[in-house]
Structure formats: structure tokens, C-alpha cells
Amino acid sequence: MRFFNFKEEINDDTHFVIFGIPWDYLTSTDLPNSSITPDSIRNITDDIGFTTELGFHITNFQAADIGNVEIIPTSVELNIRKIDTFLKEIYTGNEDIIPIMIGGDHFCTYPVVKAVGDQIEKKEEFGVLIFDAHLDFYQEWDKGVYSHATLSHRIFDLEYINNKNLIIVGARDIDIEELNLANSENLKFLNAYHIIDGIDYYIDKIKEFYHKSNIKKLYVSIDIDALNPSIAPGTGYAIPGGFSYREMWKILKEIALSFNVVGFDLVEVAPNLDLENRMTLILAVKLIIEFMDFIRRSKL
């Protein structure tokens, strides 16, 4: 089972490497089952047309799907190390490869961002863009410092990440403690209610933010709950007021054209909460494949 017909092996021509992290131990409800998502997403690619919306043949992507990281659900520190090793192997022999991670809960993003950031020589050019209904900025959550609710705080704690190169977009479900924490650190986030001002608001603000600090290389993390639950019902925390598919499509297109996207992920899809027609899984596949096409075009 592979993502579309991508090959399993990385070779000299490989541009994108897809892999899954089937891990949802650090979510904070018993409802979602995002550990089955990487394979559910691969499965559904059989039912989706083999072209992107702009007409690129998916068979022509120079991409590999190398499977899943082997996870032992409760072994948090061990999994973090395993994910790091997995990423380092991807980069062996080709440091320009663009890793694409399918989660898993949002915590899966932390070890991936760290591995991607660690191998970038000019750290001052590196930025992280997170789409999320939540800030995930708690210092600790039910299972400790590592949780899907502390994700962006752990990223923020990386020595090369700060309030000038990390931005969270689509926020609309923030607790008081978390808001106070975010404000005290001057964490940059864009609220979802600006959608009523038109999608260019986000494109302009995101570009302005990164240009101000001279960021050129971006890691992008997409929590599916950044999108509106009317189109993404299959997730643990369905918060109203998110982006439409087309709005997200447009933002991703502009981001890919304006920055060098060095990796991205899609997390928090829960197939067990999806509708029978699997619309959240299809949305996830479309976002991945469209973003890949935008990134490919930006490098032509």
C-alpha cells in the first residue's frame, strides 16, 4: 500500500519523500484514532484522480513513499529518537529532499521540525508555519511536557525558533492560560475570524512576517482542524470558523511561490470520526498533492 503509485525507494532523482507516523498516544481525548491515518490516506489514493488541479500528472512526481516510522505508542522519548534517525536517513546522500509527514496527532510534528531544522546550515533563514485552530502552546498537558497540546511550545523552545520565525494561522479555540502564555512570549498568531476580510489578509501577513526576519526556508505543518469542520469532520476537536479548502489551497499556493518549502506535514485526521464518504481523508490527500505541485512549480 503506497501513496498513489509512488515508488518505495529513494533514488538520486527523488524530490519528495512521504512517510507516516502512526502515533496518537499524545492526543488528549480517547475519541480520535489518528494512528491509522497514514495507511487510511494511502488506501484512499486508489479512488482519487491521478492529476492535480493545475493538470500535473501525479505519476510524474519524483517522489517516494517509504512507509511508516515504527512506533511504540507509550515510549515517547524512544519514538522522538526513532523519528530523528528516520529523518536523518532520508537526508543521507540528498539533503535537498523534501520530507512530507502524515500523522498521527500534532505532537508528531515536533521531532520532524527538529530534524529538518537541525540539518539546515543557515538557521537564521529557517521558519515554521503552523495552520491550527489551536495554539498548542501549553507548557505542560496531561501526559507532561510532550503532548499534542504543547506542540508549538516545544517547537518554540528549540534554540533556533522564536517569535520572529514561528507563526500560527487559523487560531480560534484558545484557553485563557494559553493565551496569557502566548502573549507573554509575544507569540505571533493570526486569528481565524479575519477570513471575513478575505484570504489575502493571511497571505500578506504571513509574507510580511517572514520577510521582516529574512526567512527563506519554511517548514509547514497543517493540522486538519485549521479547516472548517463542515469539510473536515474527521478530527478530534471540531471547531467552527475555519478555512475552506479553496482558501487553504490559495494560501499554500502563495506560500510555495514565495518561500522555499523544505518540508511539510498533515496531522490530526481521525478516520474513525470521518463521514462514511471519507471526505476528511480525501481532503487530506488533495491538500498534500496540491501543495506538492505548488512546491514543484516554484522550483521550475
Q: Which residues bind Mn ion (CB under 5 A)?
A: 132-134, 223, 225
Q: Which is nearer to Mn ion, 65 or 223 (CB)?
A: 223
What is the number of the residue whose Cβ is closest to Mn ion?
134
| Least gap, CB of 211 to Mn ion (angstroms) | 27
Q: Which is nearer to Mn ion, 218 or 232 (CB)?
A: 232
| Least gap, CB of 135 to Mn ion (angstroms) | 9
| Least gap, CB of 148 to Mn ion (angstroms) | 8
Which residues, 6 or more positions from 32, have their beta carbon under 8 angstroms from its beta carbon? 24, 105, 235, 236, 268, 270, 272, 273
| Measured CA distances, 57 to 4, 126, 255, 269 (Å) | 11, 31, 22, 26
Which pairs from 4-7 meet CB under 8 Å and 24+ separation?
A: 4/45, 4/48, 4/50, 4/58, 4/59, 4/61, 4/65, 4/289, 5/50, 5/58, 5/59, 6/61, 6/63, 6/64, 6/65, 7/63, 7/64, 7/65
Q: Which is nearer to Mn ion, 87 or 130 (CB)?
A: 130
| Least gap, CB of 236 to Mn ion (angstroms) | 8
| Least gap, CB of 287 to Mn ion (angstroms) | 15
Q: Which is nearer to Mn ion, 132 or 178 (CB)?
A: 132
Q: Which is nearer to Mn ion, 132 or 293 (CB)?
A: 132
